[in-house]
Amino acid sequence: MMFLAIRELKHSKLRYLLIGLIMVLVALLVFIISGLANGLSSDNASSIQNMKADYFVMEHDSKNKLNRSIISMGKLDEIRAITDVKAAEGLGQMMITLNKIGSSEKTDATIFATDASGILAPKVIEGTSYDNKKQGEVVADRSLKEVGYKLGDSLKDDLSGKVFTIVGFTEKQSYSHTPAVYMSVKGWQEINPGLKNQGKDSISAIAVQMDSKSEENVRESLPEGVTLISKEESLQSIPGFKEEQGTLTMMIAFLFVIAAFVLAVFFYVITLQKTNQFGVLKALGANTGYLAKSIVGQVMLLAVTCIAISVALTYGVTLIMPEGMPFELSADLVIKYSVLLLAVSVLGSLLSLYRVAKIDAIEAIGRVS
């Protein structure tokens, strides 16, 4: 099976080199766009994605948006009292502009407020965590450090005039393409203008840890005026998240379709050119199954080689990408898309197999003679 496939690859090097080049470029585009999609997803929502929460309890009329939800802290105890809830923690959120003291530099950021020792507290990679009793301490995402901020720097909220000190850094914490800054709930309540008419003792939402099988029971036990949403629903409600991911996913899907059509056309044309040769082989005793296996083996060998080259090129490209470019490509995703590309390649060869099955040996020999 592979003897015939390899012999033909060696004999028609230029032809298959051009096909291979197209396959490499298509696969390279798939991996790069996938990495960008994952990177943008993380840059847009990593603070929510990395939270140790399965569900969120929000205000009923908030449309699943954190920035529109305001609920009283008293509901936290009611949620914790529900039998199927394993753990629950209050969460405050708001977008602000921070001004670095001693500098004209301003930075847009997302404030997340939660208990420093609770289930939502970020992992500190440098410095210390904030003190719940000290309203002026914050833990910031490392992306702020990369643009010049350091431990001990003072940040002023443009809206409230409150000043905060960076006591620690965390990582992979961003929201709506802005770095996340964590602080105590009391500190957040002091600077949030949206609480003026709602009462200072409020939060944006309650993060809940529980089994998905208990969802219906928990919904029925919720206090009045709130709703339960999954983490995925919360992600989809982040401004631009669904549209951004949908666009990139559609591009990847089209690349797979394009790859299938391009390969189908290339191998079909090649099969047409080799109709006489296949006819002769059939006359000599080669059955359709043997020829089909030869074509599939040839496609798989070419596809595996091209995919391997494109994976290597992708990781090479990441080395020269700008540091601020959001790009994440996990090994699991590479394996998944490599298998899909291989499947698409084999699928593209099916048209050629149909043509080979229809070849009549006598007619082919007649044309040769």
Name the residue with tokens 């005793």: 285
What is the C-alpha R_g of the chain?
29
Question: What DSSP letter does each residue of 228-289 carry, written as one string?
Answer: EEEHHHHHHTSTTHHHHHHHHHHHHHHHHHHHHHHHHHHHHHHHHHTHHHHHHHHHTT--HH
**Res 298 pLDDT > 80:** no
Q: With the CA atoms of 222, 52, 45 and 147 taken in that order, what torsion angle do they form, in degrees rounded to the nearest 10?
A: 140
DSSP helix/strand/coil, 160: coil
The tally of CA atoms less than 13 A away on the side-chain side of residue 251 is 17
**Res 14 pLDDT > 90:** no
State the Cα–Cα distance between residues 150 and 148, nearest whole angstrom: 7
Cα distances from 209 to residues 53, 247, 298, in angstroms, run 5, 31, 51
- Asked if residue 90 lies in contact with residue 104, where contact means CB atoms within 8 angstroms, the answer is no
Name the residue with tokens 């709602």: 198
**Res 297 pLDDT > 90:** no
Cα distances from 239 to residues 9, 20, 194, in angstroms, run 51, 40, 19
Q: Which pLDDT does position 311 carry in this prediction?
A: 93
Residue 205 phi/psi, 5-degree rounding, is -160, 175
pLDDT (tens digit per residue) in 137-196: 999 999 888 888 899 888 888 888 888 999 999 998 999 889 999 999 988 888 887 776
Paired residues of 109 in beta bridges: 96
Name the residue with tokens 């033909």: 8
The segment with the largest mean pLDDT, out of 51-55, 59-63, 352-356, is: 51-55
Q: Label residue 197 by pLDDT band (50, 70, 90).
A: low
177: closest CA among 125, 238, 88, 86?
238
Q: Which of residues 311 and 196 earns the better pLDDT score? A: 311
**Res 250 pLDDT > 60:** yes
Q: Which pLDDT does position 355 carry in this prediction?
A: 66
Prediction pTM value: 0.79
Amino acid identity for residue 152 in this structure = G
CB atoms within 10 A of CB 37: 23
Question: What DSSP letter does each residue of 293-358 carry, written as one string?
Answer: HHHHHHHHHHHHHHHHHHHHHHHHHHHHS-TTS-----HHHHHHHHHHHHHHHHHHTHHHHHHHHH
Q: Which of residues 369 and 162 earns the better pLDDT score? A: 162
